[in-house]
């Protein structure tokens, strides 16, 4: 596989792991504030990011590339509100989406048809990822920090 494409896929493998790390930090914040449902949702999100990373791991290996691990940056550990947590999550997902689109552009430039095909799953997944966060933000804005409303959202997210 082309060097530039391989490096970009490997970067995304690492970025998906980093995403999981970020979500785990958000989960720990919610847990510390007794929002167990939100914490559960974010732990599940972190696990999903690990699965995303492993899809890249598998594909790179299938294409005879070499996976390499990079260092991770420290995530944000404290937030001012639960709304702030999910707004940060949405911003993060938008960044992931732009990275996936960039990968599709590189794969297209390099005429790497297996990579273009492989990345389609992520293009669709990102629509869902962003929408999940937008829904939660909409609800959190609606309850405006009221305890009862927050508990309802917490319960709903705990069912993920
Ligand atoms: Fe793997 Fe949430 O993007």
For 1-18, how does the pLDDT look when each residue is reduced to its tens digit (9 = 90+)?
Answer: 899 999 999 999 999 999
pLDDT digits (tens, 9 = 90+) for 57-104: 999 999 999 999 999 999 999 999 999 999 999 999 999 999 999 999
H or E segment and range at residue 116: helix 113-143
Lookup: tokens for 144: 């405006």
> What's the 71 CA to ligand 1 centre distance in angstroms?
18
pLDDT number for residue 1: 82
pLDDT value of position 75? 96
- What are the residues whose beta carbons fall under 8 Å from the beta carbon of 69, sequence distance 6 or more? 14
Residue 66 DSSP label: -
Over 90: is that where the pLDDT of 117 sits?
A: yes
Please report the atom of ligand 1 found closest to the CA of residue 52. Answer: 1
Under 8 Å between Cβ of 158 and 41 = yes
| Predicted pLDDT at 145 | 81
Residue 112's pLDDT is 97
For residue 88, the number of C-alpha atoms closer than 13 Å in the C-beta half-sphere is: 20
SS3 of 23-54: the string is: HHHHHHHHHHCCCHHHHHHHHHHHHHHHHHHH
What is the pLDDT averaged over residues 131-148? 94
**Residue 133 in contact with ligand 1 by CB distance below 6 A:** no
The topology under which CATH files domain 3-158 is Ferritin (1.20.1260)
Structure confidence at residue 144 as a pLDDT band (50, 70, 90): confident
CB of 92 closer than 6 angstroms to any ligand 1 atom:
no
Report the pLDDT value the prediction gives residue 4, as an integer from 0 to 100: 95
Residue indicated by tokens 């911003």:
91
Domain ranges of the chain: 3-158
12 lines ligand 1 (CB under 6 A): no
Question: Are 64 and 1 a contacting pair, CB within 8 Å?
Answer: yes
For 44, 83, 152, the CA distances from 52, given in Å and listed in that order, are 12, 25, 29
**129 CB under 6 A from ligand 1?**
yes
pLDDT band at 148 (very low <50, low <70, confident <90, very high): very high
Query: How is residue 73 written in tokens?
Result: 């940056």
pLDDT at 131 over 90: yes
C-alpha to C-alpha distances, 62 to 6, 56, 70, 119, nearest whole angstrom: 12, 10, 20, 14
pLDDT of residue 106: 98
């Amino acid at each position: 596989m082309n060097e530039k494409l391989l490096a970009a896929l490997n970067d995304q493998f690492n970025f998906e792991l980093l995403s999981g790390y970020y979500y785990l930090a958000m989960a720990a914040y919610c847990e510390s504030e007794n929002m167990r449902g939100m914490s559960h949702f974010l732990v599940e999100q972190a696990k999903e990011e690990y699965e995303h990373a492993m899809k890249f791991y598998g594909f790179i290996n299938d294409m005879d590339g070499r996976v390499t691990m990079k260092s991770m940056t420290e995530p944000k550990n404290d937030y001012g509100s639960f709304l702030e947590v999910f707004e940060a999550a949405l911003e993060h997902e938008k960044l992931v989406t732009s990275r996936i689109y960039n990968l599709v552009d590189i794969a297209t430039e390099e005429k790497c048809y297996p990579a273009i095909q492989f990345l389609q799953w992520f293009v669709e997944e990102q629509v869902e990822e962003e929408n999940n966060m937008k829904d939660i933000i909409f609800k959190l804005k609606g309850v405006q920090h009221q305890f009862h409303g927050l508990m309802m959202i917490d319960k709903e997210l705990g069912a993920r």
